[in-house]
Structure 1
Amino acid sequence: MVPQDSGVVAVRNILTRLCKRSGLSSDRLRTTEIDVAPLLDLLAVRQHARRHGIAPEEAVLPVVKELAAQLEPTNRLIADAELSLGLLRENATTAVDLDRLYAADLGERREYLTEHWRLLHETLRAERIPPPLSVRSLRATPERRAFTALAGLLVNESVYDAGSVHPAAAVQPQLSTEHRSVPTVPGVVTVFGDAVIDHIYFVDHIPEAGTSTPGNSFEKHPGGKGLNRAVAAARLGLQVRLISAVGDDDEGRHVLDYLRSENVDTDLVKVVPDAPTPVTAVMITSTGAAGLIGCRDDRIRLSARDLRSAAIRAAIAASNAVLLTFEQPITVIEQVMALVRRLDSRPLLVVHPSPPIDLPQYLYQYLNVVDYLAGTSKDLAAMVPEVAAASTSDTAQRLRALGVRSVCATEDFRCTVWSDLVNSQIPAFPAAMEDSPGAAAAFAAALVYRLVSTRRPAEEDDYIWATAAMVATQSFGDVPGAMPPVSEIDRIVRLASEEH
């Protein structure tokens, strides 16, 4: 049930009043005596206006249409007809009289809606058709319920604007002046994962329960598994889009500004009103070992409904590779895998199964679309919790039997691979630290870079290069800031070859 907060009530009342006469239009918003300021100031409206360079009055109608289309059939029909949105103009049968459904007079629209109640529901293929209504009964609870539901979407949700993303250019970020020297690769990558603010504490050791440790220093940077992978891929010259969620606060704006400065497209980052951007406390020791504490608001999440966005579907279809972490709800992870599987020409799917999820068995039906599954031994073992694996190799073979094409165990700057082409432990590179919080992100991005560049399955040299990318992240502090360019990875590979 949609919360009856003051924002929802205010927007519902505005929409109800705008139904009169010819319905909702930009001209009506400019000339009406109704106070429409709460409607024009909605986050989704401001986002759409900014993306398209138009006035808020012009942005309201496309935003309302986008969200009204997500309502259940009865509420959708009521909102569509009474606001005269025109949602049925493109796919209605000839039996529907569109001139009457979207007539200039509200009374006539209501009459047609009630007279042809079953026909209109059947046009939307509604599974359940409520009993027919009279105009009088329509104006009571049904209208109030429909406009409350629509107002709830407008107030509480960010809108992915399908009009802002063309499938042929779904991931074409504008390069910032700072990074124009990065050579671009003819490859498009879409990343699903979190974007947060990392609070980084440098400590001598990670304290055990009941103990404490002095902090040596503190920093604050954008982070998150999704953000780190997006930045890492962009620094290698790939065209990258991040699909994630942040709050509509200063921290969220900082995250978005940072991503844009790193040439990561943010058009499909969901901005959630009145919710704080997630914060992760990261404790890093002098050896590079890290401990994490994640603090998040459950509202800062993608949802299965978000994955129905035409813009997100277009971004996936236009990608050469999709990077997916397990930071989002399992329903979102399932939807991403299902969308990839349905494509005739599908992108490579590279999955990092972290953090662990409950009941990973629900994902087993989709594992045959996973091209590369990369994580620590614990991450991989968590994917098959019903069996006590004798070794990481045993775990990898079970995952391969479930359909995963290549399994990579990555930790401590090392990589072991099980695939059709490669079954070996990649020789370790010399390292000064034991681990790095950014190593896993660098490995995934570097592997995708090689895959997209060569347009073939990964060979041993590709895994060697991706392992070198992990070593290149040895650094304190800013994790995405430690993501290496191609030249640094090449340098590490060259040095290792010279030593041998």
Structure 2
Amino acid sequence: MSPSGVLVVGSITADVTAFADRLPRAGETVLGNDFTLVLGGKGANQAVASARFGTPTWMIGCVGDDPFAELTSGGLREHGVDTDLLRTVDGPTGVAHIRVDSSGQNDIVITPLANARLDDAQVDSGLAAVRNDVSVLLLQLEIRASVTAHAAAAGARAGLTVVLDPAPAVPVPDDIWPHVDIVTPNETEASILTGVEVTDESSAARAGQWFLDRGVRHAVITLGDAGALLVSAGERPRLFPPFPVQALDTTAAGDAFTGTLGAALAAGVELADAVRHGMAAGALAVTRAGASPSLPARDEVLALAASTVVA
């Protein structure tokens, strides 16, 4: 049988989230109305999204030797992610400080900590361990960009479909792009990385072409409540309409999208349908508070994806 699993290389954090009616201005204190402490990190969120879609999922990452280590690694296991490839390092586990207002918008400060210890050797040994079990590699940029680039090259050499969510939009080595099959930035990340201000479908198409010109096979620019645009070599850009939902917390929406997209691809779903599944997962995620707790199950994703005719 062909490999049908997903391997995630990336960040793991304890997410400390405060909810308030509005975010404070500089130097101001506001009273909040809720607080959560849960598993997060873009890598971990992608892994949970993939596992909850029902796809066998492994994760390569680092946690510290502090109390947050069990919160995070245990959280991954509870959601069905295989954690045999995690490494415990001296010092604290990564932390994300998140603030969310009443409209669901957020701001986030990531402190990588243990995530900065993830290295090329750990990537190589982990990839070798599961090479016969996985067909898709998911990446982000909350670990060192050089390690993400190394993982992309190693995954491409191993014949995996390499999917990169370039978030946060930090500088990356130029040679990463030919190793990426699918890149999934939102409009802000696409604008920063390409220099094309993404404001509409036309500008999103130009940004998508920037990635293709550098060797990426497909670019999926997510546009929030305007949907998502798929830009592929030799084809006309395709706009996917959004699922209208009431946003509570946008944290992990992009992770839900990319994690579910990768899981669907590993399960043999065609790219266009995998994009739709990812969009449904992202839409469901914003209706719930928190990062990993907001990630939907397979049945929910499939039900929402089937509820609207694709344009």
Residue 350 (structure 1) aligns with: 163
Q: Check if 1:472 corresponds to 2:284.
A: yes
Residue 376 (structure 1) aligns with: 186
The structure in which a higher percent of residues are helix is 1
Deviation at residue 262 of structure 1 after TM alignment:
1.3
Deviation at residue 216 of structure 1 after TM alignment:
1.1
> Structure 1, unaligned stretches of length 5 or more?
1-167, 169-184
CA displacement, residues 223-261 of structure 1 (integer Å, 9 cap, x when unaligned) = 110111101100111111111111012110221111111
Residue 47 (structure 2) aligns with: 230
- 407, 410, 417: which one aligns with 2:230: 417
Residue 451 (structure 1) aligns with: 265
Residues 188 and 320 of structure 1 are in contact (CA less than 8 Å); yes or no, is this contact kept in structure 2?
A: yes
Q: Check if 1:340 corresponds to 2:155.
A: yes
Relative to structure 1, is the Cα distance of residues 261 and 434 closer, same or farther in structure 2, using a 3 angstrom cutoff? closer
Percentage of pairs with the same residue:
26
- When the two chains are superposed, the root-mean-square deviation of aligned CA atoms in Å is 2.6
Relative to structure 1, is the Cα distance of residues 470 and 307 closer, same or farther in structure 2, using a 3 angstrom cutoff? closer
Residues 17 and 98 of structure 2 are in contact (CA less than 8 Å); yes or no, is this contact kept in structure 1?
A: yes
Residues 239 and 264 of structure 1 are in contact (CA less than 8 Å); yes or no, is this contact kept in structure 2?
A: yes
The structure in which a higher percent of residues are strand is 2
How many angstroms apart in 2 are the aligned matches of 1:490 and 1:342?
32
- 389, 398, 401: which one aligns with 2:210: 398
Q: Check if 1:326 corresponds to 2:141.
A: yes
Residue 207 (structure 1) aligns with: 24
How many angstroms apart in 1 are the aligned matches of 2:219 and 2:109?
27
Q: Which amino acid aligns with 1:373?
A: V
- 176, 186, 206: which one aligns with 1:366: 176
Deviation at residue 332 of structure 1 after TM alignment:
0.7
- 280, 293, 298: which one aligns with 1:481: 293
Deviation at residue 422 of structure 1 after TM alignment:
6.0
Deviation at residue 392 of structure 1 after TM alignment:
2.9
Q: TM-score normalized by structure 1? A: 0.57
CA displacement, residues 367-402 of structure 1 (integer Å, 9 cap, x when unaligned) = 1221110011221233335x7789332221111111
> Structure 2, unaligned stretches of length 5 or more?
none
Deviation at residue 475 of structure 1 after TM alignment:
3.3
Q: Which amino acid aligns with 2:169?
A: P
Deviation at residue 200 of structure 1 after TM alignment:
0.8
Residue 57 (structure 2) aligns with: 240
Aligned pair count reads 306
Q: Which amino acid aligns with 2:280?
A: A
Relative to structure 1, is the Cα distance of residues 213 and 305 closer, same or farther in structure 2, using a 3 angstrom cutoff? same
CA displacement, residues 177-211 of structure 1 (integer Å, 9 cap, x when unaligned) = xxxxxxxx972100011111001100112223233
Residues 288 and 476 of structure 1 are in contact (CA less than 8 Å); yes or no, is this contact kept in structure 2?
A: no
Residues 350 and 370 of structure 1 are in contact (CA less than 8 Å); yes or no, is this contact kept in structure 2?
A: yes
Deviation at residue 440 of structure 1 after TM alignment:
0.8
Relative to structure 1, is the Cα distance of residues 472 and 455 closer, same or farther in structure 2, using a 3 angstrom cutoff? closer
Relative to structure 1, is the Cα distance of residues 208 and 416 closer, same or farther in structure 2, using a 3 angstrom cutoff? farther
Q: Check if 1:313 corresponds to 2:125.
A: no
Residues 60 and 122 of structure 2 are in contact (CA less than 8 Å); yes or no, is this contact kept in structure 1?
A: no
Q: Which has the larger radius of gyration?
A: 1
Residues 233 and 449 of structure 1 are in contact (CA less than 8 Å); yes or no, is this contact kept in structure 2?
A: yes
Q: How does 1:43-442 map to 2 (within 5 A)?
A: 187-273=4-90, 275-297=91-113, 300-309=116-125, 311-316=126-131, 318-343=133-158, 346-358=159-171, 360=172, 362=173, 364-384=174-194, 391-413=203-225, 414-420=227-233, 421=235, 423-433=237-247, 436-442=250-256
